[in-house]
Structure 1
């Protein structure tokens, strides 16, 4: 059976009506992974037999009228930073290549309890340290829109797997943009909720920055997934109480104050990115009959604050290991850079973070939502951490130089989503970032659900379209397929 609509909501209805079996869906996902994973490198591990066994069990239960939950029989990909009991969690690092946790992360367990089937683990940068899709451990994760280019990171495989339609949804984490960056580059949807909206466990050395959350093809799918994922867990002391709001189908208030910032901190946005984002904002304003006015926040770029917390926290935590030889060069560089910080530096950065967050929250006394580009650039070469010729103000975290619009909202804890809003002239996706006041996750999700009907209506990468024409079981030559792409993303 050919599955045409790969949205979670459509698949849920099809499985509930028994017009689609879970086994057929899992088999199609496995066929897509078999064909496309050698090209894009989105999955680090695939659990084919285990997933099929679970799918058959779901089908038997459905035949008896029993459903595990709203995700009954729907497969997912899980970022290889999340613990899943009985499965290796490599964390993108040779240092953890055989590490098998004994407990499962709350977000993963909630999806399983809702009926989802884990089909595999998706790639990530080492310990999630970088914003590109480059990995010395897995190799680069490539962008399904043009496999010569990066998927973005650190939820690299989660974004690429979605764009390639290998699975209906994935799980990712975001400490500086790590779900929004690949969402923007790969043309999918992701929201970093308010800090603590979805419990994050195990503990992170950057717990004040780190978020867990789903990634999907649409805001509506993510709304359902957030409804399942949100709520406290005793293992995360920062976890928020459930806000009691149903995100799926949430409505916008009649009066809404929306600000649009074409850039932040005076950063140059690529002209074509700016064109697409402005066009999307104008379309949304017209179609939803909203008053969107320009704003120019006078914030100072908090890159030094972020760098201190990110490098000092992670460097000290992992640098305590006696043998660093198994870490990649990028992560070793981070550990070495952490030696320049002392406790006074760290406390000073914490104080500065509080002040910066206060300035962000002050803006949301004047607006309900802030719109801006998710990223100021197009995807670059898949084997690089930064675009060629790019100069970053940070030596240890060069990726922060090209992600100036994502990490600020990790520092402030605001909900921030990346909504696909169009294509550049090179045929590459662009993300519109939608930021709300702290704890206003439902408002961000309601806006995105309304807006997505009018921008970027689920366009499919040519790589995937070619597979639909050829048939998913058709053997492929990954090297030949990659080399047949030109610099504009057109397939010959």
Structure 2
């Protein structure tokens, strides 16, 4: 049964449940479900149980480490944990063990959280699907034949199936929002560098780190813990000094825009139906006007492809070309294709990124919030990088053909969340993307919390409210 971070932490702090009982419940769920969903790659059973006993002893003495005391978490297998294997979804790094821990993990542990294991990811986080030649495909808890989305594929599947109450993910082109939309949970890609990202990424101008939770309320709690600078990330923003848990927004004063699509992309009829109903539910709940818009932005796929492919290709080219390279076929092809991108192409893309971002930021001088579908299609077969018959504007990144609404906001750095909007007629979650102006993370979270609390934006099974829309 899926549980919220807030509820779990409160129960432990009050002594209503022990940390050990929560950890044992998570481990039991992993043993029962992981063979089907393939969400965890490594499990730290003995260590997690030992730490849970320590947290319980501390609580009995009135010594809580922080607001996550004794709460288990799953960590995407791109983040370093000292002396723990970080394979990054790749046979090429199957034996790599870092000597330090990423700041995002350090901050969770300092707040009392217990890392229960590593969650699966696509190789080096390169793809938006859940296909992995190393781990095997990760699957959707709502229908195990279908993809969970990626690249934070295991983190989403583990969260929604109730294996853990919170996970960590990263987002370089949609990698927390894609699985959030497909699996029916909340995820915010914060403003670029709101949460420090380490180790260094070859696409540091696109890459974000952050929590994946059932609700925006849980996400706000974790952002309060995780945001703020770290010397290891030279982009990291100073702490904005805001308490996201307590942030409020005057809905009546917000200028909200709704784009049914971007770039003229066809949106699946089921997705469109659920999103339009969600927007109407928003309008009815708060009595606000939502302006339909059609931004004149051009699909920035070539900018994204150049930065994404060149960065990763150069960073891992020597290892890929070495004797006995064991990269998977998709990532190996990315490395090969990077050779056609020269320095002039790369610099042109960085300039084009600045121009494109300026245009989007100009749009947000008029609006506070932009709503779009997170993904224009429903989840598809878990063994595919893209649905059959759906092409891509990229020669190298087949997943970008079905994720055209997520990667643009990695290019611009705007905070962008996916919140459950409802279910399709086949019972699959549909995500609404909520984008705010740059650095307005608190506003986006407060807006989404109001959607949850006052407009019924839930699709979760278990002990959270379940929203199932009538099928016309």
C-alpha distance in structure 2 between counterparts of 1:49 and 1:244, whole Å? 38
Equivalents in 2 of 1:340, 1:17: separation in Å? 59
SS of corresponding position for 2:390:
coil
1:398 is displaced (CA, Å) by: 0.7
For 1:209-228, list aligned pairs within 5 A.
209-228=206-225
Q: Is the 8 A contact 1:180 1:374 kept in 2?
A: yes
- Return the alpha-carbon distance in structure 2 between the equivalents of residues 249 and 432 of structure 1: 23
Aligned length: 460
Distance 1:449 1:361 in 2: 24
- Per-residue displacement from partner, 1:412-451 (whole Å, max 9, x unpaired)? 0000000011000110000000000000000000000000
| Greater displacement, 417-426 / 449-458 | 449-458
Establish whether residue 160 from structure 1 lines up as the match of residue 163 from structure 2. Answer: no
CA contact (8 A) 1:176 1:407 kept: yes
Partner of 2:367: 367
The CA deviation at 1:324 is 6.2
CA contact (8 A) 2:421 2:459 kept: no
Query: Residues 211, 337 of structure 1: CA spacing in aligned structure 2 closer, same or farther, 3 A cutoff?
Result: same
**Equivalent residue number for residue 138 of structure 1:** 135
Task: State the partner residue of 1:60.
Answer: 57
Q: How far does residue 323 in structure 1 lie from its aligned partner after superposition?
A: 3.7
State the match for 2:335 in structure 1.
335
C-alpha RMSD over aligned residues: 1.3
In the superposition, relative to structure 1, how do residues 24 and 445 fare at CA in structure 2: closer, same or farther (>3 Å)?
Answer: same
TM-score, normalised to structure 2, is: 0.96
User: Which deviations, in whole Å up to 9, do the C-alpha atoms of 1:449-474 show, x marking residues without a partner?
Assistant: 00013234343189xx9xxxxxxxxx
SS in 2 for 1:372: strand
Query: Retained in 1: the 8 A contact 2:2–2:162?
Result: no
Contact 2:2 2:160 in 1 (8 A): no
SS of corresponding position for 2:75: strand
Alpha-carbon distance, 1:249 to partner: 3.0
What is residue 277 of structure 1 aligned with on the other side? Answer: 275
- 1:18-60 Cα offsets, whole Å, 9 max, x none, are 0100000000000000000001000000101100000000000
Instruction: Summarize the Cα distance change of 1:269–1:81 in structure 2 as closer, same or farther, 3 Å threshold.
Output: same
The residue number in structure 2 matching 1:202 is 199
Aligned mates of 1:367, 1:28 — CA distance in 2: 44
Distance in 2 of aligned mates of 1:385 and 1:122: 19
Q: 3-state DSSP class of the match of 1:225?
A: helix
**More divergent stretch after superposition (437-446 vs 244-253):** 244-253
Alignment partner, residue 486 of structure 1: none
> What is aligned with 1:410?
410
Give me the whole-angstrom Cα distance separating, in 1, the residues matched to 2:191 and 2:218: 18
**Residues 429-440 of structure 1 aligned to structure 2 (within 5 Å):** 429-440=429-440
Does the 8 A contact of 1:288 with 1:451 survive in 2? no
Offset of residue 325 of structure 1? 2.4
Cα 1:93–1:248 change in 2 (3 A) is same
Partner of 2:442: 442
Instruction: After TM superposition, give the deviation of residue 86 of structure 1 in Å.
Output: 1.0
CA-to-aligned-CA distance 1:355-409 (integer Å, 9 cap, x gap): 0001100100100000000000001100110001221121210101100000000
Alignment gaps of 5+ in structure 2: 467-472
**Inter-partner Cα distance in structure 2 for 1:313 and 1:70:** 37
CA distance in structure 2 between the aligned counterparts of 1:133 and 1:96, rounded to whole angstroms:
19
Is the 1:220–1:249 contact (alpha carbons within 8 Å) kept by the matching residues of 2?
A: no
CA distance in 2, matches of 1:458, 1:375: 16
> How big is each residue's C-alpha offset from its partner over 1:215-241, in whole Å with a ceiling of 9 and x where there is no partner?
000000000000000000000000000
Please give the alpha-carbon distance, in whole angstroms, between the structure 2 residues aligned to 1:275 and 1:210: 31
Kindly state the Cα deviation for residue 341 of structure 1 after the two structures are TM-superposed. Answer: 0.6
Match of 1:485 in 2: none
Q: How does 1:353-432 map to 2 (within 5 A)?
A: 353-432=353-432
In the alignment, which residue of structure 1 is the partner of 2:456? 455
Aligned partners of 2:3 and 2:462 also within 8 Å: no
Q: Which runs of 5+ in 1 are unaligned?
A: 466-492
- Which residue matches 1:79? 76
Contact 2:141–2:157, Cα closer than 8 Å, also in 1 = yes
Q: 1:373 and 1:187 mapped to 2: Cα distance? A: 13
The residue correspondences of 1:229-240 to structure 2 (distance < 5 A) are 229-240=226-237
What's 1:42 paired with?
39
- Which secondary structure does the structure 2 equivalent of 1:274 belong to? helix
Aligned equivalent of 1:266, options 252, 261, 264: 264
1: CA distance between counterparts of 2:462 and 2:304?
Answer: 34
Query: Would the aligned equivalents of 1:164 and 1:461 in 2 still touch at CA under 8 Å?
Result: no
Instruction: Normalising by structure 1, report the TM-score.
Output: 0.92
> Aligned-pair distance for 1:286?
1.2
Deviations 1:321-351 (A, max 9, x none): 2246210000000001001110000000000
The question of whether the paired residues in 1 share the 8 Å contact of 2:244 and 2:445 is answered with yes
SS of residue in 2 equivalent to 1:127:
helix
Which of 8, 12, 30 is the matching residue for 1:11? 8
